[in-house]
């Protein structure tokens, strides 16, 4: 396991030299928006991506950085082959949604010439890296389904990737946060926005700025230059934009949170506008109730 070194620019984004060496070994050339994600040192990340923007590919490389360069564990002896392995969970709303990230991780580990043993299926699936003569695996990756949240317990992973986070319940996110805490671990959530309301859009909005340990990112579809070689100027992308509704385009293609129509306060942000405060008995207390529907009587 190596350590991070000085940073060098990639597509005008600074990446650690060790990360660039690793990416070179994997044949991975991140586009600018992916490089922005990889350059961030925050342990908890949430990403909203457009369709075919490379979300799972990006998540698998975050795993590679943490498992092969950084050790976020509170127990540095883990992953040495003689103590507990570095454990990562891949969580999806169901097992099937972990398939792509699972496959990318297997491919990357094999490209590096590591002794990899991987299950054929992901329901559940397991990836193990273990060298001959060592007592225990160095790395273990397990898939988890959000269908039964109760099974997200027992062990404390060093890292968790949540695939299609927008389709997962809030409880999965809360459980994931709780499970990585003992190991001082990392969390990567990825997904295409399914709606403009709900816990995931709120997380994405509130993590844009102001948090030292968590941040949200956007991976718009045209940033994937292997798909659209000219980016936003690609004729196929222009045609997609012209034939899509504004809401669909911004949300599903550009990865942007679109405020629901009819909001009384369209700029409302829970992280900014809601806070704990002490009651001052000398000040009046105003309460408003919005039932959310009309009344017939």
Give residue-wise pLDDT tens across range 144-188: 998 877 777 778 899 999 999 989 999 999 999 999 999 999 999
- Token pair of 289 as six digits: 């109730």
Cβ-contact 95, 145 below 8 angstroms? yes
Please check the confidence at residue 25 and state whether its pLDDT lies above 80: yes
Of the candidates 118, 116, 133, the one whose C-alpha atom is nearest the C-alpha of residue 81 is 133
Cβ-contact 69, 18 below 8 angstroms? yes
pLDDT at residue number 235: 81
pLDDT at residue number 9: 54
Percent residues over pLDDT 70 in the chain: 85
d(CA 211, CA 223): 25
d(CA 15, CA 33): 12
Percent residues over pLDDT 90 in the chain: 51
Beta strands 44-49; 186-191: pairing state? parallel
Cβ-contact 128, 67 below 8 angstroms? no
pLDDT at residue number 297: 47
E runs forming strands in 137-213: 139-145, 159-162, 186-191
Using alpha carbons only, give the angle 189, 129, 136 rounded to the nearest 5 degrees.
115
Q: Looking at residue 221, what DSSP letter applies?
A: G
Using alpha carbons only, give the angle 163, 103, 174 rounded to the nearest 5 degrees.
20
Q: What DSSP element (H or E) covers 9?
A: strand 7-10
Please check the confidence at residue 286 and state whether its pLDDT lies above 90: no
Who has greater pLDDT, 229 or 267?
Answer: 229
Of the candidates 257, 275, 165, the one whose C-alpha atom is nearest the C-alpha of residue 210 is 275
pLDDT mean over 10-29: 89
Cβ-contact 73, 185 below 8 angstroms? yes
């Amino acid at each position: 396991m190596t350590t991070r070194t000085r940073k060098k620019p990639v597509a005008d984004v600074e990446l650690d030299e060790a990360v660039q060496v690793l990416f070179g070994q994997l044949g991975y050339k991140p586009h600018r928006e992916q490089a922005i994600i990889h350059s961030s040192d925050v342990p908890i990340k949430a990403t909203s991506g457009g369709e075919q923007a490379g979300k799972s590919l990006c998540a698998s490389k975050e795993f590679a950085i943490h498992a092969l360069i950084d050790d976020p564990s509170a127990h540095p002896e883990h992953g040495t082959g003689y103590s507990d392995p570095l454990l990562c969970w891949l969580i999806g709303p169901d097992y099937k949604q972990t398939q792509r990230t699972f496959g990318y991780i297997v491919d990357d580990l094999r490209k590096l010439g590591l002794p990899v043993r991987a299950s054929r299926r992901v329901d559940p699936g397991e990836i193990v890296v273990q060298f001959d003569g060592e007592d225990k695996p160095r790395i273990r990756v397990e898939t988890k389904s959000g269908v039964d949240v109760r099974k997200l317990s027992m062990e404390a992973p060093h890292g968790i990737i949540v695939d299609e986070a927008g389709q997962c319940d809030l409880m999965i996110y809360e459980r994931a946060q709780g499970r990585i805490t003992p190991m001082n671990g990392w969390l990567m959530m990825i997904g295409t926005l399914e709606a403009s309301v709900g816990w995931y859009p709120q997380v994405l909005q509130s993590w844009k700025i102001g948090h030292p340990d968590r941040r949200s990112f956007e991976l718009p579809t045209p940033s994937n230059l292997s798909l659209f070689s000219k980016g936003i100027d690609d004729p196929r992308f222009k045609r997609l934009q012209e034939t899509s509704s504004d809401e669909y385009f911004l949300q599903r293609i550009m990865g942007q949170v679109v405020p629901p129509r009819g909001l009384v306060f369209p700029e409302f942000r829970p992280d900014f506008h809601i806070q704990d405060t002490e009651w001052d008995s000398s000040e009046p207390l105003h309460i408003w109730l919005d039932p959310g529907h009309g009344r017939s009587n």
